[in-house]
């Protein structure tokens, strides 16, 4: 059984797969005590217990993003394996505070790390994409961390206000290593 906060269907608003119709499986629980928590857009404490079959029956699109909270706190291997057996694209979005096992990595198509901790506190050893929500931290410390091929800096949103100017200035300072990532779903006011 997995602790599921919500399952919803929308357009991926972030990263390399931005614009793709996606089923989001948001799991409950988050062990990260981070300085960005006050900006967290997830009620990571509430949940409904569901088995893999119940979750899979709610999948609507070919791309599935398992997110949280912190999805690696739960044993999601069986769910990911079953999704892949059903010929679905499996994406995981994690804070990087927990390493991903070889078995789990083998049944995913794309792993995104959105770090909320300094790089020396991260545990994950490999990923495909780094997406840093900019709140004034040293973004460059995450460049090429865990073998990431895609590097995004993203404005932080607080009560509908984004720090666009500060993020653009940081992007300029980073001098071409990073790309701007906008939370298109928030800008378009869709879930």
CATH at 118: 3.20.20.70
Residue predicted with more confidence, 36 or 22: 22
Mean pLDDT score, 102-127? 94
Q: How many domains does the chain have?
A: 1
Over the chain, what is the mean pLDDT? Answer: 90
Mean pLDDT score, 93-98? 94
Cα-Cα-Cα-Cα dihedral of 88, 114, 101, 64, to 10°? Answer: -10
Give me 170's structure tokens: 């940081």
167 has a pLDDT exceeding 70 = yes
Q: Residue 152: phi, psi to the nearest 5?
A: -125, 140
97: which DSSP letter? Answer: S
pLDDT (tens digit per residue) in 41-80: 566 667 899 999 999 999 999 999 999 989 999 999 999 9
160 has a pLDDT exceeding 60 = yes
Note if the pTM is more than 0.85: yes
Q: Domain limits at 36?
A: 2-187
Residue predicted with more confidence, 118 or 33: 118
Integer-rounded Cα radius of gyration of the chain: 16
Mean pLDDT score, 154-162? 88
Return the pLDDT at 40: 55
């Amino acid at each position: 059984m997995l602790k599921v906060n919500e399952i919803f269907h929308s357009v991926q608003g972030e990263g390399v797969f931005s614009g793709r119709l996606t089923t989001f499986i948001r799991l409950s629980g988050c062990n990260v005590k981070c300085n960005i928590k006050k900006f967290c857009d997830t009620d990571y404490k509430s949940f409904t217990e569901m088995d893999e079959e119940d979750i899979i029956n709610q999948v609507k699109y070919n791309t599935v993003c398992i997110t949280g909270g912190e999805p690696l706190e739960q044993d999601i291997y069986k769910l990911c394996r079953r999704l892949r057996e059903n010929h679905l694209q499996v994406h995981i979005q994690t804070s990087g505070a927990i390493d991903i096992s070889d078995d789990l990595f083998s049944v995913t198509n794309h792993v995104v790390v959105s770090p909320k901790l300094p790089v020396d506190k991260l545990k994950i050893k490999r990923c495909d994409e780094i997406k840093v929500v900019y709140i004034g931290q040293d973004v460059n410390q995450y460049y090429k961390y865990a073998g990431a091929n895609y590097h995004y800096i993203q404005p932080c949103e607080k009560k509908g206000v984004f720090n666009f100017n500060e993020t653009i200035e940081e992007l300029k300072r980073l001098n071409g290593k990073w790309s701007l990532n906008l939370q298109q779903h928030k800008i378009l006011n869709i879930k």
